Copies of this chain bind each other. A is one copy, B any other.
């Protein structure tokens, strides 16, 4: 793969330091050290500059915010076009949004819509990613160009979806290692949409702050579980084919993002004994090692679904999450997960409104998220502790070159 923001040398990873306008250290995620924040490898002469100054270029063959490690803060915003907005209005919006995103990613003021919230800070690895929902195409007079891969997701057993927090004509994913930088970008983009599109829903999430762990490692979710061990890595064979689309024309090099707001029933989960939690997942909680591997196993020890204990009992339970997920993947399903935790206060019953902002990128959801979720919703012991409360599917077009904007080949093609 030749994506702008990722380099994948076979040997030691190198940072992609790019020139261009704006101060700051321009770096991409290092494919050779997936899960590591490449800029943590930058000279540590000034720890401050390393975090704030880290810069992920907006322009490039692929949109930023897909293969880069999850930042400390994410904002998801869905927008609906106003009824008066036509194709030219949508093009104007995307042109304006792209220009503002490029400036902010470079550490420059957004100019239009600028409110100075982020004036003192560096871009802090800001990425802005745009997506198009199925409903966008009719409204913008582009129904004949809607990709088949944007077909509605099927209903899954156990779904408890809130339409008001699902779907949307447009999606923006904003990630940064500083919350004010992320919220600044959100406010700028909302203001720039005035008169053309209105926010439909917003969600905020978080992942590790760079440097919170002594060395880079797979993150944990709010169940306390190491989450993402088997996520495909850019250097893996077949990564590009699984994650990035080859068509239709304007989508070549793009991807499809499935979003699910998955609330965790933490009050039940947290009262389970540790061994019960581990049996439900199929991995040790302390380090993520598979239960099939014995005490010497580590996180990356391959899962052995056939392993039994001396009594002949399967070490990975029939309904363990890793077993059901693995079975689903046997058909070749693969997706790149890039989730964030959320914690939005209390529900009326006093339980925490918390869980996972799940995002999965794939070349085609029909061969990625859909078959996996069909199996998980039916057979995964973990499902009893999860509620899928919102869902969306967006086409994430390829990136824009300098001077261009995301979606230009669709809107001007």
Q: Are A181 and B212 within 8 A (Cβ)?
A: yes
Instruction: Tell whether, in the assembled complex, residue B122 and residue A213 are in contact, meaning their CB atoms are under 8 Å apart.
Output: yes
Contacts of A73 in B (CB 8 A): 179, 206
Q: Is A306 an interface residue (CB 8 A)?
A: no
Contacts of A360 in B (CB 8 A): none
User: Are A46 and B44 in contact, with the CB atoms below 8 A?
Assistant: yes
Instruction: Please tell me if A72 contacts chain B, counting CB pairs below 8 Å.
Output: yes
Q: Does A18 contact B (CB under 8 A)?
A: no
Q: Is the CB of A214 within 8 A of B266?
A: no
Q: Is the CB of B350 within 8 A of A183?
A: no
In the complex, whether A379 has a CB less than 8 A from a CB of chain B is no
Chain B residues contacting A118 (CB-CB under 8 Å) are: 220
Give the number of times this chain occurs in the complex, counting copies: 2
Contact B214 A52 (CB under 8 A): yes
A201, chain B: closest CB distance, angstroms: 7
Instruction: Tell me whether A116 and B51 are in contact in the complex, defined as CB-CB below 8 angstroms, given that A179-B209, A212-B178 are known contacts.
Output: no
**Per-residue contact bits, chain A 377-402, to B (CB 8 Å; 1 contact, 0 not):** 00000000000000000000000000
Q: Nearest-CB distance from A256 to chain B (Å)?
A: 25
Which B residues are in CB contact (< 8 Å) with A301? Answer: none
Interface residues of A in 67-117 (CB under 8 A from B): 72-73, 75, 113, 115-117
Residue numbers in B under 8 Å from A113 (CB-CB): 270
Give Cα distance in the complex from A75 to B222, angstroms: 15
| Contact A209-B345, Cβ < 8 Å, known A48-B40, A183-B222, A354-B183 | no
Say whether A178 contacts B208, CB under 8 Å.
yes
A127 to chain B, nearest CB (A): 15
Give 1 or 0 for each of A217-254: 1 = CB within 8 Å of chain B CB: 10111111100000000000000000000000000000
Query: Please, what's the 1-or-0 string for A181-193, where 1 marks a CB less than 8 Å from any CB in chain B?
Result: 1010011001100
CB neighbours (8 Å) of A40 from chain B are: 47-48
Cα–Cα distance between A354 and B344 once the two chains are bound (Å):
13
Set B177, B183, B201, B343: member contacting A183, Cβ < 8 A = B343
For A294-338 the 0/1 string (1 means CB < 8 A from B) is 000000000000000000000000000000000000000000000
**Which residue of the partner chain, among B44, B199, B341, contacts A47 with CB atoms under 8 Å?**
B44
Cβ 8 A contact of A214, one of B49, B72, B213, B346: B49
| A202 pairs with B345, CB closer than 8 A | yes
Whether A209 touches B44, Cβ cut-off 8 Å, given contacts A53-B214, A119-B220, A203-B345, is no
Q: Which of B72, B341, B344, B350 has a CB less than 8 Å from the CB of A199?
A: B350
| 20 chain-A/chain-B pairs, Cβ below 8 angstroms | A47-B211, A48-B212, A48-B214, A49-B211, A51-B209, A51-B211, A51-B212, A52-B209, A115-B224, A117-B223, A119-B224, A122-B212, A124-B209, A177-B212, A179-B206, A179-B207, A180-B206, A183-B206, A201-B345, A204-B344
